[in-house]
A and B are shown apart, each in its own frame.
Chain A
């Protein structure tokens, strides 16, 4: 009951000000298609504290991010989580996404994902549900740069997919 309650209140009044802490739930995913490399490069930026909260609740309560130690086990969790929450279909077919790794940048954890062997893109569809299971007002911004076209989506739980046709 306790957990449910805190989850709820958090969601309702999440926009209150807290100095030095961020006040909104948002991630940014940059996706770029590099045709020479036949590669779709994906960089997802998530706030460390949001992600830590999620990993604790979902996998292991003792998880602490950014401790200056090797985080192989944590990387496994992050990989399996992201790959279950980000779904990409290229040319109408669901693509296999590879988790390359992650690094920390200030209060953000930056995750690198890739779809390989894509020689052309005629349609691109992305579903991004990262952290929707944690924060009901989470927003995931997706920025695409494919075939010289750029497009941004703001994905929310009620509308978690974006599509681009060429």
Chain B
């Protein structure tokens, strides 16, 4: 069987080869060119491996990272919405370099009156303006939310020279900081807290007019050390507002003083729980630590409703201590309902926590904490066991944003408590996404400022896996008629509209987040989907998952770069993926693979012209050959469709008798139908060709030709198919798993498909 098949295949290939040669002879004299092959190695794009970052994608033998430890005393002035702090930073220089100065990030200065953020937004003069906007745009000074730095001092209380360049502050030390040395200094600061709902921000308060209360979600609120590393030196990219962060790891001891009737939680272990919790809260908390299926409410809605009515003039200080975190955030209000549930991560008990104003109910009490717990399980399976002791989901209107152990999430029912599916799944998805950020970038700590996709893309990919888990584990969360979680991002088909869109407004994934078009699709949707396709279609789950876990473990509590990810995925799987990274991450190419032409052949013992000539030329007996005739060609006759060459050709009979046993011969299937299929590739991306052959008897077979089929010809690829059964339809990418942007060329015979418009119009008519 094997030999016969080979013979047939090579015969078909010979004809294709001849045509190709004739084509070339007609061409004009040609220019040379560089290597533009889609499979070209990425040596030019990648940095050279070194002692810090190894060629395997792992941290190198001289890998280092800086450490920044913080002790902070914070005071919230709820009456004036002001936050003030005194912080001591102990900075350890683990680099081999001597540092002449330190850089501290002052992110709140993005909200300063002299901020340049509004200046980089394009704007125009409208023909009309509302009174308020006119006054604010052109007359007022606007809200001042920048830092007031009151002092910067060394550990002896001596003032340190410092210079503020917008959102960055350079601190001069008495003498340069040697490799291995430590330097402690303190900063005293305060700023006006902004309204994050009306002013749109990540940190700030939501104001509740009915009872004159605020719910605070506070982050990027303190002067934070910038990253110094082997790739960037000092991170020197200013904070413009949309971009995120690059932060070193460290230990935090933070005391936060807030009104005594507030409920607070944040990054780290609450070390004085008994001082700040009531006895009732403690009892409920102890119950929650043993409740693995349902959350236990620690501060109830009734208690919150009562608390809203008064304002305590006393204060309480909450003490949080966190080891090995890259940042710190907290949420506090007298309006927070609090519930918790225990989660078992491979024998280690973690707490899933939710804090929400009553406006979040009934959605939040039902799903927030369960979504947190489910996320920790899914992500721990895909990466490493969640190392922190808790994860908190806080309800903040309109925004989703992540910090270590704590995140803010949207999803609010209307005033009557009703909500649409969009609100419900939006809320569940954002919780899964933001809790998932604990893994990327809070623990696998990539530089978000430079590479948005490294945390957002990887996280969007795992989010998809976690959402599907959530739908399986909590089927009650789905709406009627749904059999799985309706993930917005992840499935290949959901990214085609973006990838097939106007190239003027698409940037490659390897673009700094601030400078990219269609941010959501660019940094979240496309990389997330690319990884899902890589897992499910290109590598397979086993190979992908092992490598992805290896990357996560290698860079847990470290600072990876894009190359570290790309290299590890190849290193741990033995799959050369340079072509995949090049196409999907470095270009804006898209997938479009189609069927250009299908020719049907029959085999016969009657010599055709080419065969007869060949036999004569090489002195072969015509009987020692079989001949392929295209259906409908001059040499074709009806009888050929039913001819059996194995019966008619004595030479073939002899060959089979000589080379195969009777038992082998009995199992042989004689091919009757031969097809020459030409696939074409209008899209720039190379991808495997997944083809479904459907037979006349109703059965079908799917074949995957690896992406390397395109290595010598980026435009077309041909395949000869020998089949005992007649093929009636050939479909490329039948399950829509490659993100093919145009599926109208994916079938043979070509289906005439109605355009999107006519399809809808017909549907409405019915």
Contact = CB atoms under 8 A, between A and B. Distances in A.
A-B complex is real: yes
B124 interface: yes
Interface in B123-139: 123-127, 130-133, 136-137
A18 B123 contact: no
A158 B562 CA distance: 41
B399 A18 contact: yes
B742 interface: no
Most buried by A among B197, B519, B757: B757
Contacts of B511: none
A67 interface: yes
Interface in B373-427: 398-402, 410, 414, 418, 420-422, 426
B494 A100 contact: no
Contacts of B49: none
B132 A68 contact: no
A17 B243 contact: yes
A101 B765 CA distance: 10
Contacts of A20: 400, 426, 429-430, 433, 520, 524
A59 interface: no
B244 A17 contact: yes
B421 A68 contact: yes
B760 A106 contact: no
Contacts of A6: 197-198
A97 interface: no
Given A23-B242, A68-B421, A112 B519 contact: no
Given A106-B494, A112-B757, A17 B420 contact: no
A110 B476 CA distance: 29
Nearest to B481: A68
A136 interface: yes
Interface stretch (A8-16, A77-85, A87-95, A117-125): A8-16
Given A18-B400, A20-B433, A157 B520 contact: no
Contacts of B488: 106-107
Contact of B130 (A8, A21, A106): A8
A5 interface: yes
A19 B433 contact: yes
A39 B614 CA distance: 57
Interface stretch (B153-161, B199-207, B593-601, B638-646): B199-207
A24 to B, nearest CB: 7
A43 B756 contact: yes
A135 B505 CA distance: 21
A12 B118 contact: yes
Contacts of B244: 17
Nearest to B437: A19
Interface string B484-498: 000010000010000
A18 B398 contact: yes
B242 A100 contact: no
B760 A13 contact: no
A72 B98 CA distance: 70
A152 interface: yes
B137 A8 contact: yes
B124 A157 contact: yes
Interface in B199-230: 199-202
Given A13-B200, A20-B400, A20-B433, A157 B126 contact: yes
Nearest to A150: B502
B18 interface: no
B121 interface: yes
A10 B196 CA distance: 10
Contacts of B201: 13, 16
Nearest to B242: A17
Interface string A6-42: 1111111111111111111000000010100000010
Given A17-B244, A19-B402, A100 B199 contact: no
B490 to A, nearest CB: 12
A57 interface: no
Interface centre among B241, B520, B756 (most CB of A within 10 A): B520
Contacts of B243: 17
Contacts of A66: 420-422
A140 B121 CA distance: 17
A9 B198 CA distance: 6
A17 B524 CA distance: 12
A103 to B, nearest CB: 7
A19 B401 contact: yes
Contact of B764 (A101, A141, A152): A101
Contacts of B200: 9-10, 13-14, 16, 18
A130 B760 CA distance: 22
Nearest to B521: A22
B421 A4 contact: no
B398 A21 contact: yes
Interface string A45-78: 0001000000000000000111110000000000
Contact of B519 (A1, A14, A24): A24
B592 interface: no
B198 A16 contact: no
Contacts of B241: 13, 15-17
Nearest to A69: B420
A47 B630 CA distance: 52
Contact of B430 (A19, A64, A157): A19
A165 B434 CA distance: 50
A156 interface: yes
A20 B398 CA distance: 10
A4 B242 contact: no
A127 interface: no
A23 B519 contact: yes
A161 interface: no
Interface in B241-276: 241-244
Nearest to B756: A43
A67 B420 contact: yes
Q: Which of A4, A10, A152 has the most CB of B within 10 A?
A: A4
B132 A17 contact: no
A15 B121 contact: yes
Contacts of A106: 488, 494
Contacts of B701: none
B48 interface: no
B757 A18 contact: no
Contacts of A112: 757, 760-761, 764
Interface in B430-475: 430, 433-434, 456
Contacts of B21: none
B430 A5 contact: no
Contact of B755 (A9, A41, A137, A156): A41
A23 B137 CA distance: 21
Contact of B242 (A7, A16, A43): A16
Contacts of A7: 130, 132-133
Given A15-B121, A18-B398, A158-B125, A100 B198 contact: no
20 contacts: A7-B130, A10-B200, A15-B242, A16-B202, A17-B242, A18-B200, A19-B399, A19-B400, A19-B433, A19-B456, A20-B430, A21-B399, A43-B756, A64-B414, A65-B420, A106-B494, A112-B761, A112-B764, A141-B505, A158-B125
Which 3 A-B pairs have CB atoms at the shortest separation, nearest pair first?
A4-B132, A8-B133, A41-B757
